[in-house]
């Protein structure tokens, strides 16, 4: 086992012609080449590892590799490929080398979730989502960076240090799936698995200009991630596991492989995600929330969202920039989100810490510290009240989606932010249209939809004048994930989607 954060080459190192040739293939394209015998699984793995060796030191997004394990898996796939009896059983991703976020357990790999107390922890089993991609033939060769216990919208920790954005190394890759997004943008991997409780798939996808899908809550089993502690069986409220890639097709293919009941439910339950409401823009009903006074958005981003909606309208979509659910109140929804977020994350605090925070909150309105810290102190009765508010909001969104197919909305109010690791986190600020705004504004647009369990697909929509990528989220009805993916695919076709960062 090697630590990629401590080694790796420089930009001057040569990754090799094969590494450059396949670096930006989609996972599905690479799988097709492997099936046709144009390269072997071992060759694909070595090419991916060579590119990481050559360029990772600039970014520090890949933090742990185990090439011995990966080579054994790749060699087994190559042996099966030439055996007619075994080749027919190879999965759709057979031989595709991938990286995995370091909060998700991969058997035999060091899995730290960025925590010093887990710096030497080696997972004994795969997370359910990881196991399903491996069963499809994907070859995991490395882990990617994140904030400590996935608890920030930047990716840095005391175990592996800071990850840098391929678009500008002075900027964050976002978080918490920041190493995942950075590795995709740098051509280190064609596919990743992210997790999202407060935008942790969508925020880094936007910051790095890649595609990410936050599934409807419960569609992909969450077992096998840290936090909680290794071996935890609980699936936290709001939190989901979802695919990240450079294309919508790859995200949908990975979702299909990961989705479905876990072994608690599979005896009686099955999952059938309905087809998309529309496969082209004609007649598509699109609501647009491009900005809101409660959480102002950079003008270039909001204009890019409106321009994207206009392009869909030119192809026959019905677009409305004023449509909102009945009684829409962004501020109230955000308060409910933060309360339930804190409740979902309170397991990270001791009883004594929670009691101390509750006591201090009797004297002040807010506490310095991490995300959702006030909500960590709530009593069960308060949680029940907040959950009822959430259910009322879910009912309003369900009624809204009887009239509209999707919503286009911002992900973050700004492009990738400069690195800022100052403490306490709650005192950090970001700049939006030249004005300071709370650091936690980066959670509000994503929390608006995560709160009510809706699927959301992050898709790039062009470059900001800063040269950094812009993105939006396509949000749809609960369990209609294929609708948001289909509309993201339309946006990809009309001019959105991934582009390579300069120099990569």
| Per-residue pLDDT, 11 | 41
**Is there a contact between 415 and 461 (Cβ–Cβ < 8 Å)?**
no
CA dist list (Å): 184 to 58, 64, 173, 486: 14, 16, 11, 21
Q: Quick count: other Cβ atoms within 10 Å of Cβ 236? A: 18
**Is there a contact between 141 and 66 (Cβ–Cβ < 8 Å)?**
yes
| Per-residue pLDDT, 173 | 98
Phi, psi dihedrals of residue 64, rounded to the nearest 5°: -145, 135
Break the chain into its structural domains and give their ranges.
Answer: 17-258, 285-493
Q: Is the pLDDT of residue 437 over 90?
A: yes
Helix/strand/coil for 254: helix
pLDDT tens digits, 134-167: 999 999 999 999 999 999 999 999 999 999 999 9
- What are the DSSP calls for 369-424, one per residue? SSTTTGGGG--HHHHHHHHHHHHHHHHHHHHHHHH-SEEEE-SSSSSSPBP---SS
Q: For residues 215 and 249, what is the distance between their CA atoms, to the nearest angstrom?
A: 15
Q: Given the DSSP bridges, would you call strands 97-101 and 139-144 parallel, antiparallel or unpaired?
A: parallel
pLDDT tens digits, 84-115: 899 999 999 999 999 999 999 999 999 999 99
Q: For residues 167 and 182, what is the distance between their CA atoms, to the nearest angstrom?
A: 9
| Per-residue pLDDT, 422 | 96
- Give the residue-averaged pLDDT of 165-194: 98
Of 384, 385, 354, residue with least CA distance to 370 = 354
Of 283, 157, 302, 282, residue with least CA distance to 226 = 157
- Give the residue-averaged pLDDT of 325-342: 95
Fold agreement (17-258, 285-493): yes
- Give the residue-averaged pLDDT of 238-244: 97
Q: For residues 71 and 75, what is the distance between their CA atoms, to the nearest angstrom?
A: 6
Which tokens hold the place of 212?
């990410």
Task: Give one word for 389, left, alpha or beta, with left for phi > 0 and alpha for psi -120 to 50.
Answer: alpha
Helix/strand/coil for 320: strand
Cis bond upstream, residue 182 (ω within 30): no
Per-residue pLDDT band for 203 (boundaries 50, 70, 90) equals very high
Per-residue pLDDT band for 347 (boundaries 50, 70, 90) equals low
Which tokens hold the place of 155?
């990716």
CA–centroid distance for 253 within its chain: 15
Check the CA dihedral 472-474-475-478 and report its sign.
Answer: negative
Q: For residues 478 and 48, what is the distance between their CA atoms, to the nearest angstrom?
A: 36
**Is there a contact between 348 and 242 (Cβ–Cβ < 8 Å)?**
no
Q: For residues 29 and 26, what is the distance between their CA atoms, to the nearest angstrom?
A: 5
| Per-residue pLDDT, 372 | 60
CATH class given for the domain over 17-258: alpha beta
CATH number for the region 285-493 comes to 3.90.1300.10
pLDDT tens digits, 445-467: 999 999 999 999 999 999 999 99
Please provide the distance, in angstroms rounded to a whole number, between the alpha carbons at the two ends of the chain: 27
- Give the residue-averaged pLDDT of 113-119: 97
Q: For residues 323 and 286, what is the distance between their CA atoms, to the nearest angstrom?
A: 9
Which tokens hold the place of 387?
């959950």
Q: Is the pLDDT of residue 9 over 50?
A: no
pLDDT tens digits, 257-313: 999 999 999 999 999 999 999 999 999 999 999 999 999 999 999 999 999 999 999
Hunting for tokens 């289909």 — which residue is that? 486
**Sequence-distant contacts of 490-493: CB under 8 A, at least 24 apart:** 490/280, 490/281, 490/284, 490/312, 490/315, 491/308, 491/311, 491/312, 491/459, 491/461, 492/211, 492/247, 492/248, 492/459
CA–centroid distance for 484 within its chain: 15
Check the CA dihedral 60-63-68-71 and report its sign.
Answer: negative
């Amino acid at each position: 086992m090697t630590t990629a954060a401590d080694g790796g080459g420089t930009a001057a190192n040569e990754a090799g012609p094969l590494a450059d040739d396949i670096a930006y293939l989609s996972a599905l394209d690479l799988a097709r080449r492997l099936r046709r015998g144009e390269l072997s699984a071992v060759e694909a793995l070595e090419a991916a590892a060579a590119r990481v060796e050559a360029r990772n030191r600039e970014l520090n997004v890949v933090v742990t590799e185990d090439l011995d394990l990966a080579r054994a898996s790749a060699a087994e796939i190559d042996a099966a490929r030439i055996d007619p009896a075994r080749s027919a059983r190879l999965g759709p991703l057979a031989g595709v080398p991938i990286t995995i976020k370091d909060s998700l357990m991969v058997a035999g790999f060091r899995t730290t979730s960025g925590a010093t107390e887990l710096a030497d922890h080696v997972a004994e089993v795969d997370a359910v989502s990881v196991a399903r991609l491996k069963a499809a033939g994907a070859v995991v060769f490395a882990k990617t960076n994140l904030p400590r216990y996935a608890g920030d919208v930047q990716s840095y920790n005391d175990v592996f240090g800071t990850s840098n954005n391929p678009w500008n190394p002075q900027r964050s890759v976002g978080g918490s799936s920041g190493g995942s997004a950075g590795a995709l943008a740098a051509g280190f991997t064609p596919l990743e698995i992210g997790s999202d409780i407060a935008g942790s798939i969508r925020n880094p996808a936007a910051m790095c200009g890649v595609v990410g899908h936050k599934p409807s809550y419960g569609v992909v089993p969450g077992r096998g991630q840290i936090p909680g502690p290794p071996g935890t069986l609980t699936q936290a409220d709001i939190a989901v596991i979802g695919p990240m890639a450079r294309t919508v097709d790859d995200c949908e293919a990975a979702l299909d492989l990961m989705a479905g009941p876990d072994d608690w439910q599979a005896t009686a339950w099955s999952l059938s995600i309905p087809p998309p409401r529309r496969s082209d823009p004609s007649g598509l009903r699109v609501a647009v929330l491009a900005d809101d006074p409660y959480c102002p958005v950079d003008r270039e981003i909001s204009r890019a969202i409106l321009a994207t909606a206009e392009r869909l309208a030119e192809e026959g979509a019905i677009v409305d920039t004023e449509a909102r659910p009945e009684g829409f109140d962004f501020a109230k929804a955000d308060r409910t989100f933060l309360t339930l977020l804190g409740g979902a994350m309170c397991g990270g605090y001791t009883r004594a810490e929670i009691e101390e925070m509750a006591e201090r909150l009797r004297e002040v309105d807010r506490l310095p510290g991490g995300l959702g810290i006030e909500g960590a102190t709530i009593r069960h009765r308060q949680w029940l009240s907040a959950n009822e508010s959430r259910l009322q909001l879910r009912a309003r969104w369900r009624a809204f989606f009887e009239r509209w197919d999707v919503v286009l909305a911002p992900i973050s109010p700004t492009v990738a932010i400069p690195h800022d690791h100052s403490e306490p986190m709650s005192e950090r600020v970001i700049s939006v249209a030249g004005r300071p705004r709370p650091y936690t504004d980066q959670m509000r647009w994503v929390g608006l939809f995560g709160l009510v369990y809706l699927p959301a697909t992050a898709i790039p929509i062009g470059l900001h004048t800063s040269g950094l990528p812009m993105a939006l989220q396509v949000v749809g009805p609960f369990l209609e994930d294929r609708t948001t993916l289909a509309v993201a695919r339309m946006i990809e076709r009309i001019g959105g989607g991934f582009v390579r960062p300069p120099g990569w």
